[in-house]
Amino acid sequence: MNIPINEKEHKNIINSSHQRSEIYGVEKKRIYSKKILTENELSSIKIKKQRLIEFADPFIDSLYEILKESGFIILLTDEQGCILKIQGNKQIIRAAQNVNMKAGAYMDEESIGTNAMGTAIKEDVSVQVTAKEHFITAYHKWTCSAAPIHNTDGKIIGTLNLTATSDKVHPHTLGLVKSTVKAIEIKLRNQFINNQLVDTNQFTFAIMNSVEFGIFALDLENKIQYANDVACQTVNIRRRELIDKHISKLIESWGVIEREIEIGKNIRNEDVLINTSLKKEKFSISVYPIKGRGDKTIGIVISVREMQRIFNIVNKYTGMQAHYTFDDIVYKSNKMLEIINYSKAVSDSPSTILIQGDSGTGKEVFAQSIHNASSRSEHGFVAINCGAIPENLIESELFGYEQGAFTGAKKGGHPGKFELANKGTLFLDEIGEMHVDMQVKLLRAIQEGSVVRVGGEKLITVDVRIIAATNKNLLNEIDKGNFRRDLYYRLSVIPLQIPLLKDRREDIPLLIKFFLKQKSLKLTKKIPSIDKNLLDQLNKYDWPGNIRELENFIEKIVNLDGKISFNEFVEDNSNEKSSLQSLDLIDTQVLHPIDFIEEKLIIQHFTANNKNVSKTSKSLGISRNTLYQKFKKYNIT
CATH code for the structural domain at 501-564:
1.10.8.60
Q: How confident is the model at residue 582 (pLDDT cuts 50, 70, 90)?
A: very low
Across 21-54, b (16+ Cβ under 10 Å) vs e yields: beeeebeeeebebbbbbeeeebeebbeebeebbe
Q: What is the mean pLDDT of residues 622-632?
A: 81
Highest mean pLDDT among 3-7, 221-225, 304-308: 221-225
Q: How confident is the model at residue 18 (pLDDT cuts 50, 70, 90)?
A: low
Q: What is the mean pLDDT of the chain?
A: 83
Q: What is the mean pLDDT of residues 99-110?
A: 85
The pLDDT score that the predictor gives to residue 579 is 46
CA triple 411-417-420, angle to 5 deg: 80
> Is the pLDDT score of 138 beyond 70?
no
CB of 163 closer than 8 Å to CB of 75 = yes
Alpha carbon distances (Å) from 10 to 16, 122, 171, 524: 10, 14, 12, 93
Q: How confident is the model at residue 4 (pLDDT cuts 50, 70, 90)?
A: very low
Q: Indicate the pTM of the whole model.
A: 0.53
Q: What is the mean pLDDT of residues 169-173?
A: 77
Q: In this structure, which amino acid lies at residue 50?
A: Q
The pLDDT score that the predictor gives to residue 354 is 96
Q: What is the 3-state secondary structure (H, E, C) of 120-183?
A: HHHHCCCEEEEHHHCCCCCCCCEEEEEEEEECCCCCEEEEEEEEEEHHHCCHHHHHHHHHHHHH
C-beta neighbour count of 270 within 10 angstroms: 16
Q: Which fold has domain 7-193?
A: Beta-Lactamase (3.30.450)
Highest mean pLDDT among 9-13, 297-301, 336-340, 551-555: 336-340
**Window from 263-277, 390-404, 567-581 with minimum mean pLDDT:** 567-581
- Top pLDDT among 626 and 578 is at 626
Phi, psi of 465 (to 5 degrees): -95, 125
Q: What is the mean pLDDT of residues 403-408?
A: 64
The pLDDT score that the predictor gives to residue 409 is 58
> Is the pLDDT score of 585 beyond 60?
no
Element (H, E) at 418: helix 417-420
The pLDDT score that the predictor gives to residue 191 is 83
Q: In this structure, which amino acid lies at residue 469?
A: A
Q: Do domains 318-497 and 501-564 have the same CATH topology?
A: no
> Is the pLDDT score of 564 beyond 90?
no
Q: What is the mean pLDDT of residues 82-93?
A: 88
CATH code for the structural domain at 318-497:
3.40.50.300
Measured CA to CA, the distance from residue 168 to residue 500 in angstroms comes to: 114
Q: Residues 194-219: pLDDT tens digits?
A: 777 666 667 667 777 778 788 999 99
C-beta neighbour count of 140 within 10 angstroms: 15
Highest mean pLDDT among 122-126, 338-342, 547-551: 338-342
The pLDDT score that the predictor gives to residue 98 is 78
* % of the chain exceeding 90 in pLDDT: 35
> Is the pLDDT score of 76 beyond 60?
yes
The pLDDT score that the predictor gives to residue 16 is 62
Domain boundary assignment for the chain:
7-193, 212-309, 318-497, 501-564, 570-637
Measured CA to CA, the distance from residue 35 to residue 26 in angstroms comes to: 12
Contacts of 428 (CB under 8 A, 6+ apart): 384, 386, 434, 442, 466, 467, 468, 469
The pLDDT score that the predictor gives to residue 19 is 54
Q: Residues 502-515: pLDDT tens digits?
A: 999 999 999 999 99
Q: Which fold has domain 212-309?
A: Beta-Lactamase (3.30.450)
Do you know the residue count of the chain? 637
The pLDDT score that the predictor gives to residue 208 is 77
Q: Residues 361-405: pLDDT tens digits?
A: 999 999 999 999 999 988 889 989 888 787 778 888 899 888 766
**Window from 22-31, 166-175, 207-216, 537-546 with minimum mean pLDDT:** 22-31
Q: What distance separates the 2 farthest-apart alpha carbons in the chain?
A: 146
The pLDDT score that the predictor gives to residue 445 is 93
Q: How confident is the model at residue 312 (pLDDT cuts 50, 70, 90)?
A: low
CA dihedral 445, 451, 455, 458 (to 10 degrees): -140
* % of the chain exceeding 70 in pLDDT: 84
Q: Residues 119-134: pLDDT tens digits?
A: 899 889 998 887 666 6
Q: What is the DSSP string of 332-384?
A: --HHHHHHHHHHHHHTT--S-EEEE--TTS-HHHHHHHHHHTSTTTTS-EEEE
Q: Residues 445-468: pLDDT tens digits?
A: 999 999 998 888 888 888 999 999
Q: How confident is the model at residue 337 (pLDDT cuts 50, 70, 90)?
A: very high
Measured CA to CA, the distance from residue 131 to residue 142 in angstroms comes to: 5
Measured CA to CA, the distance from residue 628 to residue 213 in angstroms comes to: 42
Classify 107 as helix, strand or coil: coil
Which residues pair with residue 88 across a beta bridge? 73
Classify 225 as helix, strand or coil: strand
CA neighbor of 82 nearest in space, from 25, 51, 43: 43
> Is the pLDDT score of 259 beyond 50?
yes
Measured CA to CA, the distance from residue 562 to residue 525 in angstroms comes to: 11
The pLDDT score that the predictor gives to residue 133 is 66
Q: What is the mean pLDDT of residues 605-628?
A: 81
Measured CA to CA, the distance from residue 34 to residue 113 in angstroms comes to: 10
> Is the pLDDT score of 568 beyond 80?
no
CB of 418 closer than 8 Å to CB of 378 = no
CA neighbor of 74 nearest in space, from 65, 66, 82, 85: 85
CA neighbor of 369 nearest in space, from 412, 315, 425, 421: 425
